[in-house]
Amino acid sequence: MSFKPARRPHFFYTTAPLPCPYVEGRTERKVVTELAGVSAETLHDRLSRGGFRRSHNIAYAPVCPSCSACVPIRIRARDFTPNRTQKRIARINADLVVQEIPPRATTEQYQLFQRYQQARHGEGDMASMSFYDYRAMVEDTPIETSVIEFRTHQGALLGACLTDHLGDGLSAVYSFFETSMDERSLGTYAIIWLAARAVAMGLPFVYLGYWVEESRKMAYKAKFRPSEVLKHGQWVPLAEHRVHQFTPAALAPAG
């Protein structure tokens, strides 16, 4: 008679309410769970398809009781068609050298990260992160992760994107770049590059986290077409989601 050990129970927790970082005046709550052990990769894959994101060894998703502004979004990489602006951005950055390296924090990355935070998110918590905090963000990962670096031919680091590798795609965890080079639109270029990389790897999707239409900092994600959003547990085309949102019936007052 063989003995099969009991499966380790998996726990989910809800965070305390905090001010929403995306929409002023609102409160956010998250459901979180630990990614650990031999099943971390499998669990992360499953949760990512369900709209979760990763930070360090934690997977999280918003569970705000009175708000649904954060919508999980992913690009259909094989069908991605850059618009005119995105094509121009790709041409401008064609001179960059792109390297995919293991998740190891460097002083050079951290200095760029600091400049980016001070320029774009000076009021946020990440602006005060130490090198050791940054190193934990990059290196404290229980799953397959890489750092995509964007450099000039002279070797100057202009941008980086911390990227998770999933069974069905790539997930852009966090990107930062040289903000003094706005004409390059390096954040957009990083996503264009990830879409091409996913196709080269035979992966169908690039996960972009949460699209927040009401937030200027997060609304840009809808510009990558075609894309899908998670709605009622199903991934649907973004176009369908918007049509449903703004039909006259949806806007009509309750009778």
Q: Write the pLDDT tens digit of every residue in 41-63.
A: 999 999 999 999 999 999 999 99
Q: Cite the DSSP H helix spans in the chain.
A: 40-49, 84-92, 107-120, 131-139, 186-200, 238-246, 248-251
Q: Averaged over 101-113, what is the pLDDT? A: 98
Write the CA distances from 32 to 38, 50, 70, 86, 182, integer angstroms. Answer: 19, 13, 16, 35, 35
Helix axes 84-92, 186-200, angle to 10 degrees: 90
d(CA 96, CA 41): 32
Residue 196 has pLDDT above 70, yes or no: yes
Q: Same domain for 151 and 102? A: yes
- Last residue of some domain: 21, 53, 70? 70
Residue 254 has pLDDT above 90, yes or no: no
The total number of structural domains in the chain stands at: 2
Query: Do residues 126 and 162 make contact, with C-beta atoms less than 8 angstroms apart?
Result: no
Taking each continuous run of H as one helix and of E as one strand, the counts in the chain are 7, 14
Query: Do residues 104 and 139 make contact, with C-beta atoms less than 8 angstroms apart?
Result: yes
**Selection from 17, 13, 10 nearest residue 31 by Cα:** 13
Residue 41 lies in a domain: yes
Residue 251 lies in a domain: no
* Mean residue pLDDT across the chain: 91
**Selection from 175, 195, 239, 188 nearest residue 75 by Cα:** 195
Q: Same domain for 174 and 49? A: no
Q: Same domain for 98 and 62? A: no
d(CA 153, CA 248): 53
The structure's pTM equals 0.90
Q: Same domain for 30 and 105? A: no
Residue 7 lies in a domain: no
Q: Same domain for 19 and 101? A: no
Q: Same domain for 124 and 217? A: yes
Q: Same domain for 25 and 107? A: no
Q: Same domain for 20 and 95? A: no
Residue 160 lies in a domain: yes
Q: What share of the chain is helix, strand, coil (3-state, %, to 5)?
A: 35, 30, 40
Q: Which helix (H) or strand (E) holds 144?
A: none
Q: Same domain for 124 and 238? A: yes
Residue 7 has pLDDT above 80, yes or no: no
* Structure confidence by residue, pLDDT tens digits, 58-97: 999 999 988 999 999 999 999 999 999 999 999 999 999 9
Binned at pLDDT 50, 70 and 90, residue 124 comes out as: confident
d(CA 6, CA 3): 9
Residue 3 lies in a domain: no
Q: Same domain for 88 and 205? A: yes
Q: Same domain for 79 and 197? A: yes
Binned at pLDDT 50, 70 and 90, residue 8 comes out as: low
Q: Residue 212 sits in which domain range? A: 72-244
* Structure confidence by residue, pLDDT tens digits, 144-173: 999 999 999 999 999 999 999 999 999 999
Residue 204 lies in a domain: yes
Residue 247 is predicted with a pLDDT of: 42
CATH assignment of the domain containing 105:
3.40.630.30
3-state secondary structure of 160: strand
Residue 63 lies in a domain: yes
Residue 253 lies in a domain: no
Residue 191 has pLDDT above 60, yes or no: yes
- Last residue of some domain: 50, 70, 90? 70
d(CA 165, CA 44): 10
Q: Same domain for 207 and 181? A: yes
